[in-house]
Structure 1
Amino acid sequence: MNAADDKTIVKEYFNSTGFDRWRRIYGNGEVNKVQLDIRNGHQQTVDTVLSWLKADNNLAELSICDAGCGVGSLSIPLAAGGAKVYASDISEKMVEEAKERASQTLENPGNLTLAVQDLETLSGDYHTVICLDVLIHYPQDKADEMISHLCSLAQSRVILSFAPKTFGLSILKKIGSFFPGASKATRAYLHRETDVVKILEKNGFSVQRQAMTRTRFYFSRLLEATRK
């Protein structure tokens, strides 16, 4: 399967059956135990990013690009905190849901711009560029291209999450315990941390902060890299 096919599958999946499934996972309604585990894991990753940005005490001064924003789990609280956020997703339905949630939450909706857009076509100049839980859908060569493009948009910082390629997770993935059931519809690619760090460094960034979220069914390595 080539990268173009992966992108088509991701787009179609999150505009159809995947949308309803992940909207529930990223929401507050009743879900099964596996979905609840993934919800909690994803929220831990979002909370870590929010804690990093808030700890710097300059959130209201930042311009942020949230590439692959989903239903706005990160974009909305960032905009609520005063940041100017440009958020995009390949899925029209995800963006529509994010707009609905933002309209119910944000006192100043002008802080958040939401758009249906392919990651590779993103343009602009932002203090911080963030991409969470997107790279898992793409093989390493495509992920390298995506990371390089995101780096080109960032004045100061890039924050990425990915499913790390370790022996243990590779075994889980092989036996079907990693992202179980129908969530496999988009494939789950694991990435070596050394490969991700290498492409960041190639683009002039060095890792400053890192974290790992690990639940039963959700595994996410989080890196913050700043321009050298």
Structure 2
Amino acid sequence: MNAADDKTIVREYFNSTGFDRWKRIYGDGEVNKVQLDIRYGHQQTVDKVIGWLKNDGNLSELSICDAGCGVGSLSIPLATEGAKVFASDISEKMVEEGKQRAIQALGNASNPTFAVQDLESLTGNYHTVICLDVLIHYPQDKADEMISHLCSLAESRIIISFAPKTCALSLLKKIGSFFPGASKTTRAYLHREADVVKIIEKNGFTVQRQEMTKTRFYFSRLLEATRK
């Protein structure tokens, strides 16, 4: 399968069965143990990003692009803190759910601004560009293109997360213990940290902070890089 096929699969998945599944995971309703574990892990990653930005002390002054925003798990808290947030996702259903959650949380839908877009079609300039738990759906060559494009939109900083490619996680994936079966999800790609850092540095950024989130079923490496 080529990268275009991956994009089609991701769009169709998150507009159908994937939407229902991940809406539950990113919500607060009842889920099974695996989904609860993934919810907990993803929230840890979101909380780490919010913590980084809040600790810098200028969050209310920032323009932020949340690329692959899902249902707004990151966008809405950042807007609540005063940041100007542009949130996008390849899935129309995810975006509509994000809008509704923003209205419930903030009382309006003007900030965050939501749009249905894939990463390659994003335009504009933002102080900080963030992309969480998206690269897992794409192979390394496509991930490189996506990271490069996101870097071109970032004036000062890019924050990304990815499932790291290690011997242990590769084995878990192979035996089917790390990801749900093919009928429940898109293809899952692991990425070597060295490869991700290389493409970030090639685009003029230097990694400043790193975190690792690890639960039983959720593994995510988080990197923050700033322009040199």
Q: Normalising by the residue count of structure 1, what TM-score does the alignment of the two structures yield?
A: 0.98
- Seen in structure 2, the aligned counterparts of structure 1 residues 69 and 60 have a Cα distance that, compared at 3 Å, is same
Partner in structure 2 of residue 14 of structure 1: 14
Q: Is the 8 A contact 1:82 1:111 kept in 2?
A: no
2:110 alignment partner, SS class: helix
Task: Say how many residue pairs are matched.
Answer: 228
2:113 alignment partner, SS class: strand
Partner in structure 1 of residue 93 of structure 2: 93
Partner in structure 1 of residue 42 of structure 2: 42
Please report the RMSD computed on the Cα atoms of aligned residues, expressed in angstroms.
1.0
- Write the deviation string for residues 79-136 of structure 1: whole angstroms up to 9, x where unpaired: 0000000000000000000000000001564331000011100000000000000000
* Structure 2 unaligned regions, length at least 5: none
Partner in structure 2 of residue 149 of structure 1: 149
Distance (Å, rounded) in 1 between the aligned partners of 2:165 and 2:184: 17
Q: What fraction of aligned residue pairs are identical, expressed as a percent? A: 84
- Seen in structure 2, the aligned counterparts of structure 1 residues 152 and 133 have a Cα distance that, compared at 3 Å, is same
Distance (Å, rounded) in 2 between the aligned partners of 1:150 and 1:112: 19
Amino acid at match of 1:225: A
Partner in structure 1 of residue 208 of structure 2: 208
Q: Is the 8 A contact 2:26 2:71 kept in 1?
A: yes
- Seen in structure 2, the aligned counterparts of structure 1 residues 140 and 184 have a Cα distance that, compared at 3 Å, is farther
Partner in structure 1 of residue 63 of structure 2: 63
Partner in structure 1 of residue 222 of structure 2: 222
Amino acid at match of 1:202: K
2:52 alignment partner, SS class: helix
Per-residue deviation, 1:11: 0.1
1:128 aligns with 2:125: no
Partner in structure 2 of residue 193 of structure 1: 193
Distance (Å, rounded) in 2 between the aligned partners of 1:99 and 1:112: 8
Amino acid at match of 2:23: R
* Structure 1 unaligned regions, length at least 5: none
Amino acid at match of 1:51: G
Distance (Å, rounded) in 2 between the aligned partners of 1:109 and 1:53: 22
Q: Is the 8 A contact 1:128 1:156 kept in 2?
A: yes
Distance (Å, rounded) in 1 between the aligned partners of 2:149 and 2:139: 16
1:83 aligns with 2:94: no
- Write the deviation string for residues 30-50 of structure 1: whole angstroms up to 9, x where unpaired: 000000000000000000000
Q: Normalising by the residue count of structure 2, what TM-score does the alignment of the two structures yield?
A: 0.98
1:5 alignment partner, SS class: helix
Amino acid at match of 1:16: S
Partner in structure 2 of residue 118 of structure 1: 118
4+ runs deviating over 2 angstroms? 107-111, 180-185
Distance (Å, rounded) in 1 between the aligned partners of 2:86 and 2:22: 21
- Write the deviation string for residues 180-216 of structure 1: whole angstroms up to 9, x where unpaired: 2367531110000000000000000000000000000
Distance (Å, rounded) in 1 between the aligned partners of 2:180 and 2:118: 26
- Write the deviation string for residues 131-168 of structure 1: whole angstroms up to 9, x where unpaired: 00000000000000000000000000000000000000
- Seen in structure 2, the aligned counterparts of structure 1 residues 177 and 104 have a Cα distance that, compared at 3 Å, is same
